[in-house]
C-alpha cells in the first residue's frame, strides 16, 4: 500500500511552518522524529486529566495512570515480539539502556581478560560504556573493521570471535551512514562461542521489522523519540533469565520489595530496574506513537523511505563535487555526503537558509569518521512524512551549493 504523504503530514502540526521564509523540509529524522498530534494530545491529556504517580496509589487517578503506563509496556512487547512484558524495561534513552547493561550484566558476567566486540560503525553510546567497563575490570575491547563502503568485514568479525568473547554489542543500523548490519547472522555466530548479543536498535526500530525472538538477541535498546514518540524515554529489552540474574542498576523506590536498615530485597523484573518516578507522561504518550507506526505499516514505511533515499541518490549521483559517504548495499533511509572543498557545517547552514533541516558533523561517531578520513558529513535522513517533492527541493539546493565551490 502506497503511503498517502499529504494525509500523514496533516497529523504532524510542526511540519506546517516556514523557516527562513521557506516551507520547512525536515530531514533530520535520524536525530529525532517529529510527533503526530495523537502523541501531543496524549501528553496533554495525562497532565490535564490523569496526572498521578503510578503503582503506589489506591485512588482513581493513580489507577488510570498505572493502567495506561502498563498498556504501553505491553504495546512495546508486541512491537518488538518479546515473550512477555516483564522483559521490557523503561529507561531515559538508548544511551541509558546500554549503560544499564554495561553496569549490571558487565559487572556480573564480564571479568578480567574477557573480551567485548563492537564495530567501527558504533555511536559513542555503544563505545564509551564498554571502554569504561574495560578500564574498571580489565576486559578487552575488540573492534570489527569496515570497508570503504561502510560495511562490516565479516571475515574479520569471525576472527575476533573466540571462547573469551562474552558480549557482542553492535548497532543494527548505522546512524551516520545508514548501513544495515547482518545482525541475525552475527547473533548466531556469537552464540556459537557462548557470547551474548546486544543490539543498538535506535535507528533500526523506526525503519525495519524487529522481532527479538526471531533474531534471538539477548538485549535490544532503542529510544521513543526516534519512533515519533516523546523525548527522554528509552527501552531495554532483555531475556528474562538474564534480567533476573543481573544486579540492580539504581537504588531507590519501586525497585525494592522490602527495605530494612540491615538488608534490602529487590523487586521482580521489570521493576527491579526502574528506580524512582519514571517518565509517566512520556511512557503513556509512546503508545499512540507505536499505534501510528503499526497502523501505517512498517513495510509501507520502509518502502516509502527507501524510495526517497533512492530518489535522492539518483538526483545527486552525477552532481560535480557531491561525495556520498556510506554506500552499503543494505541501508536505512540515511543519505550522508560531503561537498568538495566545503565544511559540512557550512553546507548545513546554507541548507537551513532554504528551510531544509539536516544534521552536520561527526554524528557521535568520531572513530568511524577517522576510519573514513573525514571530519564529518552532511546527513539527510528521511521519515514517513517526507515527500519526493521535498527531496527534489533538497537536491536542487545541494546542486546549487556544490556549483558555488566546484565550477
Just list the catalytic residues.
364
Q: How far is CA 220 from CA 11, 97, 105, 137, 383, in A?
A: 29, 9, 13, 24, 22
Q: Is the peptide bond before 271 cis (omega within 30 degrees of 0)?
A: no
221 close to 234: Cβ distance less than 8 angstroms: yes
Encode burial over 20-49: b for 16+ CB neighbours within 10 A, e otherwise: eeeebbbbbbbbbbbbbeebbebbeebeee
Strand 256-259 relative to strand 264-266: parallel, antiparallel, unpaired? antiparallel
- Work out the burial of residue 203: count CB atoms within 10 Å of its CB; fewer than 13 is exposed, 13-18 middle, 19 or more buried: buried
Concatenate the DSSP letters of all residues of 135-192 into one string: HHH--EEEEE-B-TTS-B-HHHHHHH--TTEEEEEEESB-TTT-BBP-HHHHHHHHHH
Encode burial over 245-268: b for 16+ CB neighbours within 10 A, e otherwise: ebebbeeeebbbeeeeeeeeebbe
- Alpha-carbon distance 61 to 42, whole Å? 15
Q: Strand, coil or helix: what is 373?
A: coil
Amino acid at each position: 500500500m502506497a503511503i498517502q504523504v499529504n494525509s500523514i503530514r496533516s497529523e504532524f502540526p510542526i511540519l506546517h511552518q516556514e523557516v527562513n521564509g521557506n516551507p520547512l523540509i525536515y530531514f533530520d529524522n535520524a536525530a529525532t522524529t517529529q510527533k503526530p498530534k495523537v502523541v501531543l494530545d496524549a501528553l496533554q491529556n495525562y497532565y490535564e486529566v490523569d496526572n498521578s504517580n503510578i503503582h503506589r496509589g489506591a485512588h482513581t487517578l493513580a489507577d488510570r495512570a498505572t493502567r495506561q503506563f502498563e498498556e504501553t509496556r505491553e504495546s512495546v512487547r508486541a512491537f518488538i515480539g518479546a515473550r512477555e512484558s516483564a522483559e521490557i524495561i523503561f529507561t531515559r534513552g538508548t544511551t541509558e539502556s546500554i549503560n544499564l547493561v554495561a553496569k549490571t550484566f558487565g559487572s556480573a558476567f564480564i571479568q578480567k581478560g574477557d573480551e567485548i566486540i563492537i564495530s567501527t560503525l558504533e555511536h559513542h553510546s555503544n563505545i564509551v560504556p564498554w571502554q569504561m567497563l574495560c578500564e574498571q575490570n580489565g576486559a578487552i575491547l575488540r573492534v570489527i573493521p569496515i570497508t570503504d563502503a561502510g560495511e562490516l568485514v565479516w571475515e574479520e568479525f569471525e576472527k575476533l570471535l573466540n571462547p573469551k568473547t562474552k558480549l557482542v554489542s553492535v548497532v543494527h543500523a548505522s546512524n551516520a551512514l545508514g548501513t544495515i548490519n547482518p545482525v541475525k547472522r552475527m547473533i548466531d555466530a556469537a552464540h556459537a562461542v557462548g557470547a551474548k548479543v546486544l543490539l543498538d536498535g535506535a535507528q533500526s526500530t523506526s525503519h525495519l521489522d524487529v522481532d527479538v525472538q526471531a533474531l534471538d538477541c539477548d538485549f535490544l535498546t532503542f529510544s521513543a523519540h526516534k519512533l515519533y514518540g516523546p523525548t527522554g524515554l528509552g527501552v531495554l529489552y532483555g531475556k528474562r533469565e538474564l534480567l533476573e540474574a543481573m544486579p540492580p542498576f539504581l537504588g531507590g523506590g519501586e525497585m525494592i520489595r522490602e527495605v530494612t536498615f540491615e538488608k534490602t530485597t529487590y523487586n521482580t523484573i521489570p521493576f527491579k530496574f526502574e528506580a524512582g518516578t519514571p517518565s509517566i507522561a512520556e511512557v503513556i504518550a509512546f503508545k499512540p506513537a507505536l499505534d501510528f507506526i503499526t497502523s501505517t505499516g512498517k513495510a509501507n514505511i520502509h518502502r516509502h523511505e527507501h524510495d526517497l533515499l533512492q530518489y535522492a541518490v539518483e538526483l545527486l549521483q552525477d552532481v560535480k563535487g557531491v561525495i556520498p559517504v556510506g554506500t552499503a548495499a543494505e541501508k536505512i533511509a540515511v543519505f550522508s555526503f560531503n561537498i568538495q572543498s566545503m565544511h559540512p557545517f557550512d553546507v548545513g547552514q546554507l541548507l537551513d537558509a532554504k528551510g531544509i533541516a539536516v544534521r552536520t558533523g561527526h554524528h557521535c561517531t568520531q572513530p568511524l569518521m577517522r576510519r573514513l578520513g573525514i571530519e564529518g558529513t552532511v546527513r539527510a535522513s528521511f521519515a514517513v512524512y517526507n515527500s519526493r517533492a521535498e527531496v527534489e527541493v533538497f537536491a536542487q539546493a545541494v546542486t546549487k551549493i556544490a556549483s558555488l565551490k566546484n565550477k
